[in-house]
Structure 1
Amino acid sequence: MNGEPVTVAGRRTPMDMKLHRLLPLAALFTLAACGQGTEPTGSSDGPADAAAEETTYRGVITVYQGTERDSAELCAVVAESYPPQCEGLPVTGWEWDAVEHEEALGVRWGSYVVTGTYDGKAFTVTEDALTMDEIDIADHPELQYSEPEIGEPAEDLGAAELEALGTELQEAFPALVFGSFPDEANGVLVTDVLLVSPELEAYAAEHFPADTVAFAPVLRPVEE
């Protein structure tokens, strides 16, 4: 990233993602920085699950499509170049002609409220996206960042042990997990994710002591 400043889904950090908590999600509306020249992180994180397909997620995020991509992507981390650059989760059903967006040198992008499902490989939009000019974020607390729920960890893990959990999660779910940091005061790993899929939740429950991971998702399940 050549030392560029980074905003990670609302949190600004000079590369050390474990040092800062996320800012309110409204801060996401400025573009952020990401790794350039890395492999796409839109690959499957595991087998598709029927429950995952039935869950509808919604949130504010950058949608991006570079000249080398065949489809749009959801990006929680975007490079502050012009045009911006990112690697994200593939989006199906996205129509650029249906939304206002920025474009430069064949790259298209914008920040939107998106709604859709996740099948383990891609995010599928199920409702028309809204631009930030179409809503007043103050009227939608469900779209704003909220602190993750912190439970009582089953084991007392140190910072190094918690960081190891974060590395494992990011390697197991590269399309969903984009950052983490140890909250030593509460003994948990706060993990920044695009969304919490059933597979991700099950993996953490199976491999880690109970309540040692607290997920901070950008996209959250839509309450009926």
Structure 2
Amino acid sequence: MNAIRRWHRLLPAAALFALAACGQGTDSGGAGDGSGIATADEDTVYQGSITVLQDPARDGAGLCAVVAESYPPQCEGLPVTGWDWDAVPHEEANGVRWGVYIVTGTFDGKAFTLTEEALSIEEVDMADYPHLQYTEPEFGDPAEDLSAAELEAIADELADRFPALVFGGYADEEHGAAVVDTLLVSPELEAYAAEHYPEDTVVFSAGLKPIGQQG
């Protein structure tokens, strides 16, 4: 029961809740320069439904892009600044605390900082958050015809360069694009893809959506 059996991609909030917090998100760590930092526009506010988890090995809670199907769950999470377990309902086992929440905040390249109180998925009606419902990626008209191997290489490279944000991807041969699963799309990540790959050959599927600017 404690063994990791498999990993899941990011799912909509309802699916996360149904999996008892076995949701989706990202590995902690770096950026395009290999420094472990993914720079970002700190004014952009992101929102999404996601598993938040803290285990005894961590000083704080983290957003889980990918969660191990184990009990208690396990994940490598992007640090969350301003998290208070006493302020939210959560589960706890063997020193691990977790739950599925709607989180709202900014990303500074190192951590996600809450700008609003987190809301337990049990306490909200997701119909009130239509912008957070899962939608299929929107494809364009790729500027070049790339092979499946080339598209997979793009997804792999982005995961290597932005491990704090990108946690998976695959080649969509029908649309000629690499679909890249990401916690959120930072300005740096978006700019890197636009600069290094043919137009419309990269499509992001993000768990946290931009909803506005701070201030």
User: With structure 2 as the length reference, what TM-score do the two structures score?
Assistant: 0.88
- What's the counterpart of residue 98 of structure 1? 87
- Cα distance in 2 between the residues matched to 1:93 and 1:80: 27
- What's the counterpart of residue 22 of structure 2? 32
- Cα distance in 1 between the residues matched to 2:188 and 2:131: 23
- What's the counterpart of residue 64 of structure 2? 75
- What's the counterpart of residue 142 of structure 2? 153
Q: Where do 5+ consecutive residues of structure 2 fail to align?
A: 32-36
Deviation sequence 1:104-142 (CA, Å, 0-9, x none): 111100000000000111100110001112211133211
1:58 is the counterpart of 2:44 = no
- What's the counterpart of residue 8 of structure 2? 7
- Cα distance in 1 between the residues matched to 2:118 and 2:143: 40
Letter of the structure 2 residue corresponding to residue 190 of structure 1: V
- Cα distance in 1 between the residues matched to 2:96 and 2:51: 13
Matches within 5 A, 1:103-182: 103-182=92-171
- What's the counterpart of residue 89 of structure 1? 78
Out of 144, 165, 177, the residue aligned to residue 188 of structure 1 is: 177
Count of residues paired in the alignment = 204
**CA shift at 1:88, angstroms?**
1.4
Q: Cα RMSD (Å) of the superposition? A: 2.0
Deviation sequence 1:38-75 (CA, Å, 0-9, x none): xx9322424634xx100000000000001100011000
- Cα distance in 2 between the residues matched to 1:92 and 1:213: 30
CA contact under 8 A between 1:57 and 1:115: conserved in structure 2? yes
- Cα distance in 2 between the residues matched to 1:181 and 1:132: 29
- Cα distance in 2 between the residues matched to 1:170 and 1:135: 32
User: With structure 1 as the length reference, what TM-score do the two structures score?
Assistant: 0.85
- Cα distance in 1 between the residues matched to 2:105 and 2:148: 35
CA contact under 8 A between 2:28 and 2:77: conserved in structure 1? yes
Out of 39, 42, 45, the residue aligned to residue 28 of structure 2 is: 42
Change (3 A) 1:5 1:187: same
Q: Where do 5+ consecutive residues of structure 1 fail to align?
A: 11-23, 35-39
Letter of the structure 1 residue corresponding to residue 7 of structure 2: V
Letter of the structure 2 residue corresponding to residue 27 of structure 1: A
Secondary structure of the 2:174 match is coil
Q: Percent identity?
A: 60
**CA shift at 1:26, angstroms?**
2.6
Secondary structure of the 1:222 match is strand
- What's the counterpart of residue 15 of structure 1? none
